[in-house]
Structure 1
Amino acid sequence: MNLEIPDGLGDMLRDFTVAVLRERPQNLFDFAVDYFTRVREAKKKKSVPMYVIVDDDDDACEPDPVAFRPKTSKSNRFARRQSVSAERYDPEADEDEESPVVHPKTDRQRERLTEAVAGILIFRSLEPEQMQEVIDAMFEHSVKAGDDVIRQGDDGDNFYVIESGLYDVCVKNESANDGSQKKVHQFDGKGSFGELALLYNMPRSASVRAVTDGTLWAMDRKSFRCIVLKSACRKRRMYEKLLECVPMLKSLDSYERMGLADALTSKTFEDNQCIIKEADDADGMYFLEKGKVRVTITKDGQEMEVRDCLGEGSYFGEMALVNNQPRSASVYADGTVKVAFLERNCFERLLGPCLDIMKRNIKSYTTSS
């Protein structure tokens, strides 16, 4: 009996095998269920209009109270962002070029605000001049213990960044039917909340109450959309075009490439500045946006150039990540260079389908050198 192998089966099993070898799960069956469930959900979400840069890693991602929902399983997932389904805001369709609101600040206020927003994930993709627009558009908001910053069910008006204070995040207790609330998270002196209600026409799905006196920095809906969303949209389009020119990434589908574009951050290096240092631990890989770089290795105590200059559209730094080894060469900027940087944890999560191609390229590097 002749059996026809379904289209895509080989690629699907290859990707699953790569994931198993990379993550080494203790329970293969549970891992398989979780893996294929995530793949299925990812395929469903190919047209999801999400323009905010979001890292799905728990340690790197600030919890967002508007994403909290009543617990539906034994494990606590409140600190993870949940998907939303509502009317979207489309930055590409928004032709409003009106300048963002500017709230005057003293030098001391700007210093405090700059420090408060430094670790906020949603601002990670912004260029320095756009970060200055963010700082200009935010205004200081002092709260007293017991104040409700946002109430579940209200319309979204502002996005908030915490400078100081303790804040409880609560949702209505659906099972009690008595109007009571239960606490699902607490912010302690840092973090941000409120952005999802600004992205969609949806009410707040959690309440945030000040436990102590504190200080918040707020940005109104219009400024948030104008600065943050349009910037993220422009950067995504630029990076998608860059990634389409990388041969290694041809095996990624459009949704995977879009996710990769969202994870990239820009870095600029001046002439002769070291981008990667030989023998250092690998922190990520690089895609060359503008300029050229030269690659060197140390032999008999002397540093020598081993490859012709890499130009725009090239990538480097992946060897140490694939092999889980220190850097095997140094990379220097040849003139002013702009790169798109992919952190190690994002590399492992997003580039599984490309590992075989990378390994083949690494063999060619070894042979040619």
Structure 2
Amino acid sequence: MPDAETRSGELDVLGKSTLEILAQIDLFKDVPPTHLRRVVDIGVEEQYKGSATIFGEGSPGDKFYLIVEGAVRISRFVPGMGEEALAVLRAGAYFGEMSLIDDAPRSATAVCHERCRLFVVHRKDLEDLLFVDRDLAYELLWNWVRTLSRRLRATNDKMTFLATTSKF
């Protein structure tokens, strides 16, 4: 849970607005500023203390997060090994986007590595926006399909590498 009240409005990280940061990440690349402004308008800021859990693996997901300030550790529980850190994400990175697309439980745990400010978009708010703005819906969904396709290809490459280099 956030350790401070959530609030709406434009955020700033290193002199860049939320709009400028969104425009630079692959999910929102090439989306016109007027459309991105609508995404910024539905988002809120959440603040967390260091070591606070944002969400747990297996929990329901309904939010997308953009790190404005701080760092977030993404990890999974591996039976027999415990927690396995997958990544430490910093300002400008995002996570939780898969929960905006499907109703599956969270695939990993997100914990603040240090104090964090996050720009958060709730699934319901985004769905409502995309329902009334079909052009924005097309642009965003097409970007997300390309992003997921790139990730799948990268995963396939890693799996091929692991399969061909491991000794049985």
Q: If the length of structure 2 is used for normalisation, what is the TM-score?
A: 0.71
The residue correspondences of 1:1-369 to structure 2 (distance < 5 A) are 124-125=7-8, 232=9, 235=11, 238-300=17-79, 302-307=82-87, 309-348=88-127, 349-350=129-130, 352=137, 353-355=139-141, 356-363=145-152, 366-367=155-156, 368=158
Equivalent position amino acid for 1:345 in 2: K
Q: 1:255, 1:289 → 2: CA distance?
A: 21
Q: Deviations over 1:189-231 (max 9, x none)?
A: xxxxxxxxxxxxxxxxxxxxxxxxxxxxxxxxxxxxxxxxxxx
Q: Distance in 2 between the 1:291 and 1:235 partners? A: 14
Q: Which has the higher contact order (CA 8 A, sep 6+)?
A: 2
Separation (CA, whole Å) in 1 of partners of 2:56 and 2:38: 28
Given that 1:319 and 1:362 are in contact with CA atoms closer than 8 Å, whether structure 2 keeps it comes out as no
Equivalent residue of 2:34, what SS? helix
CA drift at 1:316: 0.4
Aligned length: 140
Report the Cα distance in structure 2 between the residues aligned to 1:235 and 1:260, rounded to whole angstroms: 13
Identify if the C-alpha distance between structure 1 residues 277 and 365 changes in structure 2 by more than 3 Å, giving closer, same or farther.
Answer: farther
Shift of residue 269, structure 1, vs aligned partner: 1.1
The superposition leaves residues 248-295 of structure 1 with CA deviations (integer Å, 9 ceiling, x where unpaired) of 211311111010111110001111111121111111110110111111
Q: Distance in 1 between matches of 2:71 and 2:154?
A: 19
Partner of 1:99: none
Deviation at 1:366, TM superposition (A): 4.5
Q: Partners in 2 of 1:335 and 1:282 — Cα distance?
A: 22
Inter-partner Cα distance in structure 1 for 2:61 and 2:105: 6
Change (3 A) 1:277 1:364: farther
1:107-145 per-residue CA deviation (whole Å, 9 max, x = no partner) reads xxxxxxxxxxx9xxxx952xxxxxxxxxxxxxxxxxxxx
CA contact (8 A) 2:70 2:113 kept: yes
In the alignment, residue 360 of structure 1 is paired with which amino acid? Answer: S
Distance in 2 separating the partners of 1:357 and 1:331: 24
**Which amino acid in 1 is paired with 2:83?**
E
TM-score (norm 1): 0.34
- The 1-side partners of 2:46 and 2:140 are apart by 23
Distance 2:55 2:153 in 1: 20
User: What is the distance in 2 between the residues matched to 1:265 and 1:279?
Assistant: 24
Identity of aligned residues (%): 23
After superposition, give the CA deviation of every residue in 1:66-98 in whole Å (9 maximum; x if it has no partner): xxxxxxxxxxxxxxxxxxxxxxxxxxxxxxxxx
Show structure 1 runs of 5+ residues with no match: 1-117, 126-231
Q: Kindly report the root-mean-square deviation, in angstroms, between the aligned alpha carbons of the 2 structures.
A: 2.7
CA distance in 2, matches of 1:285, 1:324: 13
For the residues of structure 1 that align with 2:29 and 2:52, how far apart are their CA atoms? Answer: 31
Structure 2 portions without partners, runs of 5+:
131-135, 160-168
